[in-house]
Each structure stands twice: as C-alpha cells, then as structure tokens.
Amino acid sequence: MYFLFFLLLILASLFLYGFIRKGVFYSYCMAALARRNVAKPNFFQCVAIVLMDRAVMALAIYRLNYKIGNPFVGRFLTNFGHLLTGVEIYFNAELGSGFQLWHGQGTVIGQNSKVGKNTLILHQVTLGSGFVVVGNGVKIGCGAKLLGNIEVGDGCVISANAVVTKDVPPGKLVKIDGTLLDIDENKEIIFGTRLP
C-alpha cells in the first residue's frame, strides 16, 4: 500500500516538475525548499521534499482531495492523510499559493477555512469551528487557535498559544492574552517575539 502511495508521489512530482511549474502545489514545494535554503532545486530535491517532508505530503494529499471535491472521498482522504502525516486538512478548505506548514503535527485546518497566499503556520494550530478567513502573509505561531466566524487581516502575526475569537485588523500582532499591537515595519517579528 505504501509502495503504491510513494510511487504515486514520484509520478506526481515528475508531473509537477516538468509540466506545472506555476501551479499551487509547486509553490508549496518551492516554499519548503526555500525554507531549507535551496535556491535552484533540481528534480531529485523536489522528489525528496515530496516524499520526506510530512507537511508537504499533507499538502499533496490536500491538493488531491481538493481537486476531487467529493465529500465521501474527501473524508476518507482526510483521515488517511491524518493517519499518515498527523495533519488534518479538510477537502473544502482553501489554501493559497506559497502556503507553508512547518512541522505540521497536530495541525487542523477545518471545513470552510480560507487561508491566503504566503501564510506560515506552525504545529498544533487549529483553524476551525466556523468560517475562518486568514489573509495573505499571516504568521501563526504554534498552538494558536482561531475559532468562530472570524477574519484575520493581511500581514498579521498570531502569537503562540493565542486563542482568537474575534476579527483582527490587518498589520496587527495578537498576543497570547488577546491584546492587539501594531506591528512596527522596521522590526522583524517572528511569531510574536521581537528579534534583537
């Protein structure tokens, strides 16, 4: 069973590398390679990323699931992906290009969630329990929970273990206690902590 799955992934990466260089899944792979400081990837690096990175494998299963769009098959593939990778991404969630999932273990992206382009999510993050809309370029720290019918604006940073239950305007930092701070564009922020 696993042999067939890996064979499918190799064939998919061949197709990916040769034919759809501008596709959404290709952007997921390129983001994963950029995270590892690989500037010009070759074919074997792309295959290694698809086969050995659980987060990219979860995104590959999600893209297949999203393209099929069938609720019954979607539930099956979601459960299979969760069993294989520890990441649960529902088939009717919408993930933008350049989406990055670091580590991924325990991450749940629920039904009807919409995630913008170039968004970065760490492990143990939950997007669910409603229509969660996440803007472009958002960074979500590990253990964060986004619940309810909420919208997170572009360029926001959600701190680790923060629970967000109301809308967040663009360019804000959400601290663990729920307070909002303006992001100073001169300082780089990584998951709610300022670099020296």
Q: What is the DSSP letter of 180?
A: E
pLDDT band at residue 188, thresholds of 50, 70 and 90?
low
Around Cβ 7, how many Cβ atoms within 10 Å?
10
What is the rounded distance in angstroms from the CA atom of residue 163 to the CA atom of residue 158? 9
pLDDT at residue 23 greater than cutoff 70: no
pLDDT band at residue 7, thresholds of 50, 70 and 90?
low
Supply the pLDDT for residue 144.
93
- The more confidently predicted of residues 193 and 172 is 172
Q: Once rounded to an integer, what is the mean pLDDT over residues 84-112?
A: 87
Percentage of the chain with pLDDT > 70? 74
Q: Helix 24-35 vs helix 2-19: angle between axes, to the nearest 10 degrees? A: 100
Report the b/e string of 147-178 with b at 16+ CB within 10 A. Answer: beebbbbbbbbbbbebebeeebeebbbbeeee
Supply the pLDDT for residue 79.
86
CA-nearest of 42, 70, 53, 57 to 5 is: 57
pLDDT at residue 13 greater than cutoff 70: no
What is the rounded distance in angstroms from the CA atom of residue 120 to the CA atom of residue 80? 23
Domains of the chain by residue range? 1-86, 93-196
User: Is it true that domain 93-196 has CATH number 2.160.10.10?
Assistant: yes
- The more confidently predicted of residues 93 and 31 is 93
